[in-house]
Amino acid sequence: MNSTKRHKQRKVLLMGKSGAGKSSMRSIVFSNYVAKDVRRLGATIDVEHSNIKFMGNLMLNLWDCGGQDGFVDNYLTSQRTYVFGSVAVLIFVFDIESREFAADVVSYSNIIRALSENSPSAKVFCLIHKMDLVQSRLRAQLFEERAAYIKSASEGFAETVEFFATSIWDQSLYKAWTQIIYQLIPNAGAIESLLNELAEIIDARELILYERTTCLMVTHVTRVAETSNPFIDRFERISSILKTHKQSMARHTGIPAGSANFASLQIKTGRFMFFITRLTENTNLAASIPASEQVFNSARVNIMLVRPKFAELDIAAKTRPAIQQAFAHSADSEGAPSRERERERERERKGDVFGDENGNGSYRGKGKEREVHAFGGEFED
């Protein structure tokens, strides 16, 4: 993504009553905290502003708004236009264990009214948080009841508001934030179009694009062969595993968690091959392909060749030329670029491209390397 291009800013309000867990989830998603470390975070005073670079040119202007009654009163009166003007997304967090749920919904309703007046085209997401504190057999029913009650108070947004059950202790947080961020990427359709072309050419069952810093999924392409996959939460599971892996590497190497990115990781089984590799400066690509060395080698070459095409994408969606011409259509194609293959082999000899025929990869950061052994679908610290 060209950093010289103008950033596209999106104002995001993060609101909810004090203690609902707003700052905790923000710190886990964007600041590489782990769940056990957020307990030391204090209450937010007034509004904390964060400018978060996402996907190169998308700048999230995140407003973490303190939930104490005095602050909320100011948001709704003297700061009404300032806070609720030009909002792209409102994220309202409800504490599932709140003893004043009805009062929380009244506060939410007042905020929704202010949003409707100042930013009627905004998207609204309600996160019913701390669901891990509810007995598993009661979670679905309680979530549905609370969501229905909140929806009835969503004046002007009742038909579009979206609800998520979340917890900082599982991957549900990544599922919610993935859906939220997706709404803010104007050229998601162009990215999906390129992924579809790439998936067809390399015979991938599934391609998943992740933002490198947050490990949130940007988008994915699933072909017919993979539609019966029983793990419907696999995308956010991978997000959680990637984030945990980065934090583990940071502990072992001393590199800041935000900078601890690996170059490649491979998992090979008798039924399929799965690998994750850097696609652009800001993204990683995960691919599930048939268990064939020929398909695997062809996929690696084609992904290397298509990187510049994905790097050209910026936030302002533009018409892009067809990308088939950039690909080597198969491993044994007569037109396969031997020069690029030779470069790939040279990189492997030098260690720039990680992974060997046994499925082992390595992590590299600031001159340090650590083995990452691929097995059965999980990372090993």
Question: How does pLDDT run across 5-14, given as a tens digit for each residue?
Answer: 455 789 999 9
Whether 362 shows a pLDDT value over 80: the answer reads no
Where are the domains positioned within the chain? 8-182, 188-373
Q: What is the pLDDT of residues 103-126, one digit of tens each?
A: 999 999 999 999 999 999 999 999
Q: How far apart are CA 283 and CA 212, in angstroms?
A: 5
Contact in structure between 89 and 125 (CB atoms under 8 Å): yes
Q: For the whole model, what pTM was predicted?
A: 0.75
Class of residue 152 by CB neighbours under 10 A (exposed 0-12, middle 13-18, buried 19+): exposed
188-373 in CATH: which number? 3.30.450.190
What are the DSSP calls for 36-90, one per residue?
GGGGG--PPPSEEEEEEEETTTEEEEEEEE--SHHHHHHHHTTTHHHHHTT-SEE
Q: Which of 4-18, 57-71, 72-86, 225-239: highest mean pLDDT?
A: 72-86
More confident position, 322 or 94: 94
Contact in structure between 77 and 2 (CB atoms under 8 Å): no
Task: Tell me, yes or no, if the two domains 8-182 and 188-373 fold the same way.
Answer: no
More confident position, 339 or 145: 145
More confident position, 309 or 320: 309
**SS3 state at 164:** strand
Contact in structure between 99 and 12 (CB atoms under 8 Å): no
Residue type, 334: E
Whether 349 shows a pLDDT value over 70: the answer reads no
pLDDT band at 357 (very low <50, low <70, confident <90, very high): very low
Whether 264 shows a pLDDT value over 90: the answer reads no
Q: How far from 18 is each of 46, 72, 110, 333, CA to CA, in Å?
A: 11, 10, 16, 61
The angle formed by the CA atoms of residues 352, 302 and 220, to the nearest 5 degrees, is 100
pLDDT score recorded for residue 263: 76
Return the closest-CA partner of residue 132 out of 79, 169, 187, 81: 169
Contact in structure between 201 and 329 (CB atoms under 8 Å): yes
Contact in structure between 80 and 59 (CB atoms under 8 Å): no
Q: How far from 277 is each of 15, 282, 284, 285, 355, CA to CA, in Å?
A: 35, 12, 6, 5, 11
pLDDT score recorded for residue 47: 87
| Domain 8-182 part of CATH 3.30.470.20 | no
pLDDT score recorded for residue 312: 84
Q: What does pLDDT average to over the chain?
A: 79
Q: How far apart are CA 127 and CA 137, in angstroms?
A: 20
